[in-house]
């Protein structure tokens, strides 16, 4: 596999998410973007308390963090960061990007990976301008969500097609609650972890 380490800045993907739980849709999107953009590494960053999801109960950050570690452990180019889990208060993407910049220094190019639904929301955030100066944004297709270019800043956002997996964490949680299987929607270790910790039962 070609890597930018042969020359030029390090190329680091940043995949933010609640990961409640992490599923194959997240993993395929990260893997495909890593390939398309020749990323050296993709760091998954589970949110602490997601500011958009205050209306529902989110699993403990530590459980979501551990599930993300379990799901990514077998891929040598995937890693997990605790920056959002360890930062007090609500999680904002701008803070994630500032922390990544600080940790990885100016010689690393950041690629923030996001699905069509999340990208559409981000464009309207008040600090979108600054976010686009910190990272290149990669919007991935996602079944059921329209990926369009509503006046995206020139050269700072790429829209890419990834293999379509119609999976969401919401659906996984509902299936667990209803006693339906989630095998093959999430990695095997995640099925086991959810059972072991009795997550999403009510
Ligand atoms: P929830 O239903 O709880 O919102 P989710 O499945 O949307 O969960 P998130 O943790 O909210 O998962 O998503 C993290 C990121 O992954 C977002 O940018 C989202 O758009 C993207 N993503 C999630 N599922 C898919 C999928 N099936 N295909 C492509 N991108 C996805
Ligand atoms: Mg979501």
Any idea how long the chain is?
202
Which ligand 1 atom is the nearest neighbour of the CA of 18?
10
How far, in Å, CA of 199 to CA of 21, rounded? 9
21: cis peptide before it, omega within 30°?
A: yes
pTM for this one?
0.94
Integer CA distances (angstroms), 67 to 63, 159, 189, in order? 6, 28, 8
* Best of 28, 84, 118, 161 for a ligand 1 pocket test (most atoms within 8 Å of beta carbon): 118
Q: Are the CB atoms for 190 and 12 separated by under 8 Å?
A: no
Q: Nearest ligand, CA of residue 16?
A: 1
pLDDT at 150: 60
Q: Nearest ligand, CA of residue 22?
A: 1
Residue 140: CB partners within 8 Å, gap ≥ 6?
29, 32, 33, 113, 114, 115, 116, 147, 160, 161, 162
H-helix or E-strand spanning residue 129 = helix 128-134
Give me the phi and psi of 177, to 5 degrees please.
Answer: -60, -40
pLDDT in tens, the chain (202 residues): 444 556 789 999 999 999 999 999 999 999 999 999 999 999 999 999 777 776 788 999 999 999 999 999 999 999 999 999 999 998 999 999 999 999 999 999 999 999 988 988 887 777 888 899 999 999 999 999 987 766 667 788 999 999 999 999 999 999 999 999 999 999 999 999 999 999 999 8
Residue 118: CB partners within 8 Å, gap ≥ 6?
none
Token pair in block for residue 105: 């220094």
Domains and their CATH numbers in the chain: 11-166 (3.40.50.620)
């Amino acid at each position: 596999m070609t890597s930018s380490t042969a020359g030029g800045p390090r190329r680091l993907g940043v995949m933010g998410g609640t990961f409640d739980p992490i599923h194959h849709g997240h993993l395929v999107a990260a893997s495909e973007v890593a390939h398309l953009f020749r990323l050296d590494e993709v760091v998954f960053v589970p949110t602490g308390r997601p500011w958009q999801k205050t209306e529902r109960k989110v699993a403990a950050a530590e459980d979501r963090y551990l599930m993300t570690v379990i799901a990514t452990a077998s891929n040598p180019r995937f890693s997990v960061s605790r920056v959002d889990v360890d930062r007090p208060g609500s999680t904002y993407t701008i803070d994630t990007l500032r922390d990544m910049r600080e940790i990885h220094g100016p010689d690393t190019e950041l690629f923030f990976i996001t699905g069509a639904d999340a990208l559409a929301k981000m464009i309207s955030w008040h600090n979108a301008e600054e976010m686009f100066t910190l990272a290149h944004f990669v919007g991935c297709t996602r079944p059921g969500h329209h990926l369009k270019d509503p006046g995206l800043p020139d050269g700072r956002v790429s829209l890419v097609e990834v293999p379509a997996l119609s999976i969401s964490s919401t659906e996984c949680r509902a299936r667990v609650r209803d006693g339906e299987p989630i095998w093959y929607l999430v990695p095997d270790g995640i099925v086991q972890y959810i059972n072991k910790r009795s997550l999403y039962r009510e």
